[in-house]
Amino acid sequence: MHEHRMLIDGQLVEAHNGKTFQNINPATEEVLGNVTDGSHADAQRAVAAARRAFDGTDWGRDHEGRKKSLLQLQQALEAEREDMRAELIAEVGCPVLLTYGPQLDAPVNEAVKWPAEQISEFPWKRSLGEKDPFGWGMVASREVWKEPIGVVGVIVPWNFPLEITLNKLGPVLAMGNTCVIKPAPDTPFNATRLSRLIAEHTDIPPGVVNIVTSSDHSVGEVLTKSPDVDMVAFTGSTATGRKIMEGAASTLKATFLELGGKSANIVLDDADFPSAVGSAAAVCTHAGQGCAISTRLLVPRSRYQEAVDIVTESMKNIGYGDPNDPANLQGPQISKRQQERVLNYIEKGRAEGAKLAVGGGVPKHLPKGFFIEPTLFIDVDNKMTIAQEEIFGPVLVVIPFEDDDDAVRIANESAYGLSGQISSGDINRARDVASRIRTGTLGINGAVWYGADTPFGGYKQSGVGRQCGIEGLEIFTQTKSVAVPAAT
């Protein structure tokens, strides 16, 4: 049974106006159920509740209470893991294999637990020692305090909805803040389930966590513009990130923005080509709907045809279709709108002169669902639209480079800087290239950086700030410097 209500001020509630909207399975186009359709008024009620909970309770100072509550949530999540697995596959269209990694198991295992454990370890105060600042004989003992930032508006996308929600919620609560979460309308059930778990299985006080589901994207503007919200934490497109930053500027509120990417997968000439180039077909994972996926394959011009032959064969053999089938790495796009958006990019690639080597259309054997064939473009110039803009589909472009310096240039010739990969037979050579790539995360020779303890975010137009890790805790705090007369 799916929970259809949202969470406001500790209560599971319907929308104030009684409206609901449908949740659609993107693999079958069938209606999964109805969800309460929150309005601007509901979001304002949620903000007011979060403000009262922050200003009027000791939540921000009760370290042990927060830790206990987060560990209760951890237990509740673990108890309903398998129900969440089926629910995510149905509403997100994610392959079942991905739920045993970043879509479900990895965040459930650590996204709440790790921040909870850090409450006891985090340096809430540090001493600067004694000093007579002006030489007037007024010696002060000085400290730096870290305190909660306040009410945080959390806006979540549809591609990894539970993972992103938990990796924001854990740090937000661990640092003593309250919040209002606005999930994506395409994937609301994981958020309403979380609403129920918090309300029924934890001691989190009313108003500390509020979750407002809505089919109206503009409801998020309540969070960005309200003077009662101290910060907005957002994951999504760079275009939307700009709008959020503009809205937040009206009240000078802090923002954390994890935005788009156009990451490069650089295969150097001494790499294990069959493995490194063949694995580039992983661009199709979750239908390419991941901001950190490496969508540009950069290969040496001297081995270009060899690389094209390998990746062509690999892309032809990617399993795609029913996300419940473990043989499929690729499921559907999240919606008809997203399917059409990706197809438009494919047409633009053709029009600009790139050569379509694999796929490029809607699969005829999948009459239902928002599917697109695994798609490979070769003979791509890095200035082409398909090499510069985030497509968010199962589309890989292959670009040749002359040498290491040229590979670095091409990789950095992008408005984005979120992630990437480097493959080489010489780890020191790979590290040197990595040191020159302007991205927030990098994997060398297939190594994976992901984790609740690992800072994640981007350079340039890929965002502002970091999620997870110590940096992802600090971002949800304010800094206060305090001086008292030194002991005599």
Active site residues: 258, 291
Element (H, E) at 340: helix 336-351
265 contacts 372 by C-beta, under 8 angstroms = no
Any residues with CB less than 8 A from the CB of 459 and at least 6 apart, and which? 417, 418, 438, 439, 440
Can you read off the two tokens belonging to residue 478? 């304010």
Any residues with CB less than 8 A from the CB of 249 and at least 6 apart, and which? none
Q: What angle do CA 256, 235, 50 make, to 5 degrees?
A: 65
Can you read off the two tokens belonging to residue 38? 């929150």
Count of all residues that appear for the chain in the document: 488
List, in sequence order, the alpha helices (H) in 148-263: 161-174, 189-201, 220-225, 238-249
Any residues with CB less than 8 A from the CB of 417 and at least 6 apart, and which? 261, 438, 439, 440, 458, 459, 460, 461, 462
d(Cα 5, Cα 316) in Å, to the nearest integer? 43
CA-based nearest residue to 236, from 303, 304, 149, 165: 165
Question: Cα Rg for the chain, rounded, in angstroms?
Answer: 24
Helix, coil or strand: residue 141: strand
Burial status of residue 467 (CB atoms within 10 A of its CB: 0-12, 13-18, 19 or more): buried
Amino acid at 445: N
323 contacts 292 by C-beta, under 8 angstroms = no
Burial 370-383 (b: 16+ CB within 10 A, else e): bbbbbbbbbbbebe
